[in-house]
Amino acid sequence: MHIKKLRHCAMVIDIPKKGGEAVRVLTDPGIYSLEEHDKVKGVDIVLITHEHADHFHIESLKALIKREPDVQIVTDVGVGTILAKEGVAHHVMEHGDAVDLKGVRIEAYGKDHAFLHESLPPMSNVGFFLENKLFFPGDAFTDPKKPIDVLALPVAGPWMKISEAVNYALEVKPRLAFPVHDAVRIATAHRIPEMILPKNGIEFVKLEEGGELDVR
């Protein structure tokens, strides 16, 4: 599995299959990564965790579908409602669902976005587990209650503290973690996990925008 971090939570994940071909997955193409994800070619699957603009941008998604008419869109119930109104074909996944799509095993965990404020309406959010290897929780600290090899760890945002991110990683105990949800961050969002996680048996790869990572 090859992971390229575009920006924030937008990643291009190439999953090799038999015959030497790979399935290309794009995650959370939102407003912070417009320039980057609009250039990505050969996308087979798009995963969208929830409807916040830093994860979901309807105009660029429609443009991607025009470029890649066979692409499959997989998302939560909130984005699914929007896409249904827009006439965009999609698959909704909820907590506990699993599907094999284009030869890729996708499981869904979690149902709620992390708490923001009592005056704001609750929002759905679903995390995606790919090939029993990579878990991308979206905007939540969801424990899938199963071993995680690689964790895309949210490290900055209005719904969290860095201590919560570190404690989440310590709780679910992946073999390796790398930072996402970090387009707007202070330096400690990467530095503190880098200080603490390796001491607790978790490799932390400080993946910056444009960085790439091979995991086996």
> Span 64-73, mean pLDDT?
97
pTM as predicted: 0.95
82-129 pLDDT tens trace: 999 999 999 999 999 999 999 999 999 999 998 888 888 888 999 999
With 90 as the cut, is the pLDDT of residue 18 above it?
no
CA atoms of 24 and 41, how far apart (whole Å): 9
With 80 as the cut, is the pLDDT of residue 19 above it?
no
- What's the confidence (pLDDT) of residue 203? 97
Do 152 and 122 form a contact (C-beta atoms < 8 A)? no
Cβ-based neighbours of 117, under 8 Å, separated by 6 or more: none
In terms of Cα–Cα distance, which of 30, 31, 28 is closest to 11? 28
- What's the confidence (pLDDT) of residue 22? 94
- What's the confidence (pLDDT) of residue 8? 96
Domains of the chain with CATH codes: 2-214 (3.60.15.10)
Which is it for the CA torsion 158, 159, 160, 165, positive or negative? negative
Q: How confident is the model at residue 205 (pLDDT cuts 50, 70, 90)?
A: very high
Average pLDDT, the chain: 95
- What's the confidence (pLDDT) of residue 6? 97
140-185 pLDDT tens trace: 999 999 999 999 999 999 899 999 999 999 999 999 999 999 988 8
Q: Which residues of 120-150 are buried (b: 16+ CB within 10 A; e: fewer)?
A: eeeebbbbbbbbebbbbbbbbbbebeeebbb
Do 142 and 113 form a contact (C-beta atoms < 8 A)? no
- CA–centroid distance for 173 within its chain: 18
With 90 as the cut, is the pLDDT of residue 23 above it?
yes
Provide the percentage of residues in the chain whose pLDDT is more than 70: 100
- What's the confidence (pLDDT) of residue 45? 98
